[in-house]
Structure 1
């Protein structure tokens, strides 16, 4: 006779609740019976009533799905009432079988949370979240400005203005002056060529040859519209830069000891037109991370540092116990699948966030450098597995370096020091002088150093 067996699980979270978040209503379960489920609306008074009902039922911890943007207001309200909130990824709360309903979903979430089978997603602190809002809005305006740039190039080609052939950047100094003059009604190619900047490689004659137009009024109208759109986006980007700088300074003022920190200048870090236009981004980042100089890492640009500041913040790194946890969260570490002692797959998981994209862009820039520790690592991986794998591997290495620097408060000390172009030239000049001194067997008195040394001793 067969004997039935039951497998039980220990309760981890007592007084737990599960919430199925929706666009029009939220279903809340405090148990597994139908009378333990209640529906609430999405208005502010409904969210307050939801929290008060949970308090009356003795609930202390709540689990909910991160469904779209609908969870944010409810999450803030729950935190304000003092609940412990676990924001779970939707793929970890899928019901095993049966028809899918809101009532069943909230009861399933409550059961998983009671048994301790749900893990929370990463959420930054309030200051970092505010900074992230400004930075993401800035990124949206950059995308719109890029779209306006492409449309301007399209109208220029339709007008037979081949400005893209004679200038490197249509929205650079030379290109913008020519486009603005065209929109003012000046269509003379030789007068337009006078706007050539002295750094432009093409001569005025060739620029004038590329600016003979068909003068179609509809295309000129479209070009003028897109120029206004581009300038509007640029004004919005500057406003975002001002707000970001203001937010960083307010954060630093809350920690007076950080205002005394000073870092060395880095004039060799290049900035492009899309970089944040701040007075001293290097100094702000050094103080923001409490004396950790991330700009010392080659390949990290102003935009990369800003992504680290806004997407995770200095306190966010402490939520990851090790660098492996951090790289796994970024989906930069291989997801090893092993069965029977054999590795079935070791691919990097799909999916990305803005910080992962920023690190991969920095890794790609490192691949174009020469004679650095990270670029040597990049080339070794690229030689064996290709550039795509080298970008991922270098991005993971960057993430580990950044995590160690911020959590352990250590400086960046690569085995091979990175030298900028001016530093290489200075070092090369010193080496050539040393060779000449050794070649002609010159002594300090031959160069006048001994006389100066004696004079200084007398003084």
Structure 2
């Protein structure tokens, strides 16, 4: 006897999460579904009172677990708000819910689709770090961006010098080091004599004074000098912010040690031989 085939209309899934909801996260509105019947899908704004209203509606409907997509950074405060109301939150990679053929995407349809997948247990929650790790990661990522911004300023400083045929990068490996700083600040103060500028360099440089003087004899342009000053001030600004960020990370870790009793968890930023960060209050 031939085995009877199961048609798509006959296929069923077991209900895993009975009291579930699905949220399609957006930058301006969030669509929330607790089913496919009329009145079971609502649209909420992104203001704080909107998030409270959403959570209160979900609690009134007996919702215990909620799935939402990790859309940009718009999900973070909603994630925390749902947790504060005592609901289990399943943060899902958007590629797991939307890469399905045959679906016509829309905010309403997406929220209902997320609800369906979550109800039958087909969604896997993404890893969420602890509060301590999240805070520390925020600080360290900001620190990384400060270093990148300072690096871009350094490249622009070198460009301004080269445009005036000041070949400082050829004779000094680090234009923001001790020798480079002294020379650039002298240039910005009005010094144009190559020999006098060369005399400011550290004696440990490989290039001799004569070569330095030749490299520091340029074709001065007011526009390039103005741009050089702007980039130099920006570089100093980023270095002060970097020092403040290091202090904040150190204080954050020390407070964590005191509150948890964990020993030897102290932040000490690595310094290379060419670390030339400017103190917070230096000019």
TM-score by length of 1: 0.56
TM-score by length of 2: 0.89
Hey, what does 2:26 align to over in structure 1?
Answer: 22
Looking at structure 1, the residues matched to 153 and 171 of structure 2 have their Cα atoms a distance apart, in angstroms, of 20
Give how far 1:174 is off: 1.1
1:11-160 alignment runs, 5 A limit = 11-94=15-98, 95-160=100-165
Hey, what does 1:204 align to over in structure 2?
Answer: 209
Kept in 1, the 8 Å contact 2:176–2:276? The answer is no
Looking at structure 2, the residues matched to 252 and 226 of structure 1 have their Cα atoms a distance apart, in angstroms, of 39
Hey, what does 1:8 align to over in structure 2?
Answer: 12
Hey, what does 2:272 align to over in structure 1?
Answer: 271
Q: Quick one: structure 1 residues 89 and 4, their matched pair in 2 at CA, closer, same or farther if it must change by over 3 Å?
A: closer
Q: CA RMSD in A?
A: 2.3
Looking at structure 1, the residues matched to 274 and 241 of structure 2 have their Cα atoms a distance apart, in angstroms, of 14
1:251-330 alignment runs, 5 A limit = 251-256=256-261, 258-259=262-263, 271=272
Return 3-12 or 228-237, whichever deviates more: 3-12
Q: Quick one: structure 1 residues 276 and 124, their matched pair in 2 at CA, closer, same or farther if it must change by over 3 Å?
A: farther
Q: How many residues align?
A: 270
Looking at structure 1, the residues matched to 163 and 265 of structure 2 have their Cα atoms a distance apart, in angstroms, of 52
Q: Quick one: structure 1 residues 230 and 270, their matched pair in 2 at CA, closer, same or farther if it must change by over 3 Å?
A: closer
Give how far 1:34 is off: 3.6
Kept in 2, the 8 Å contact 1:142–1:274? The answer is no
Looking at structure 1, the residues matched to 161 and 5 of structure 2 have their Cα atoms a distance apart, in angstroms, of 82
For 1:38, what is the secondary structure of its paired residue? strand
Looking at structure 2, the residues matched to 107 and 120 of structure 1 have their Cα atoms a distance apart, in angstroms, of 18
Give how far 1:262 is off: 9.8
Alignment pair present for 1:234 and 2:239: yes
Hey, what does 1:213 align to over in structure 2?
Answer: 218
For structure 1, the 5+ residue unaligned runs are: 264-268, 278-459
Give how far 1:33 is off: 2.2
For 2:28, what is the secondary structure of its paired residue? coil
Hey, what does 2:169 align to over in structure 1?
Answer: 164
Hey, what does 1:181 align to over in structure 2?
Answer: 186
Q: Quick one: structure 1 residues 218 and 262, their matched pair in 2 at CA, closer, same or farther if it must change by over 3 Å?
A: closer
Q: Deviations over 1:90-134 (max 9, x none)?
A: 100114323211111001000111111111112211122112111
Q: Quick one: structure 1 residues 276 and 44, their matched pair in 2 at CA, closer, same or farther if it must change by over 3 Å?
A: farther
Kept in 2, the 8 Å contact 1:20–1:26? The answer is yes
Q: Quick one: structure 1 residues 70 and 276, their matched pair in 2 at CA, closer, same or farther if it must change by over 3 Å?
A: farther
Give how far 1:4 is off: 5.5
Give how far 1:77 is off: 0.4
Hey, what does 2:281 align to over in structure 1?
Answer: none
Give how far 1:276 is off: 9.8
Kept in 2, the 8 Å contact 1:27–1:38? The answer is yes
1:380-395 alignment runs, 5 A limit = none
Higher relative contact order (CA 8 A, sep 6+): 2
Looking at structure 2, the residues matched to 37 and 87 of structure 1 have their Cα atoms a distance apart, in angstroms, of 19
Give how far 1:39 is off: 1.1
Return 4-13 or 171-180, whichever deviates more: 4-13
Kept in 1, the 8 Å contact 2:17–2:119? The answer is yes
Q: Quick one: structure 1 residues 272 and 83, their matched pair in 2 at CA, closer, same or farther if it must change by over 3 Å?
A: farther
Give how far 1:273 is off: 5.2
Kept in 2, the 8 Å contact 1:65–1:87? The answer is yes
Q: Could you say which structure has the higher helix fraction?
A: 1
Looking at structure 1, the residues matched to 43 and 186 of structure 2 have their Cα atoms a distance apart, in angstroms, of 62
Give how far 1:7 is off: 2.6
For structure 2, the 5+ residue unaligned runs are: 279-283
Looking at structure 1, the residues matched to 160 and 29 of structure 2 have their Cα atoms a distance apart, in angstroms, of 48
Looking at structure 1, the residues matched to 243 and 73 of structure 2 have their Cα atoms a distance apart, in angstroms, of 27
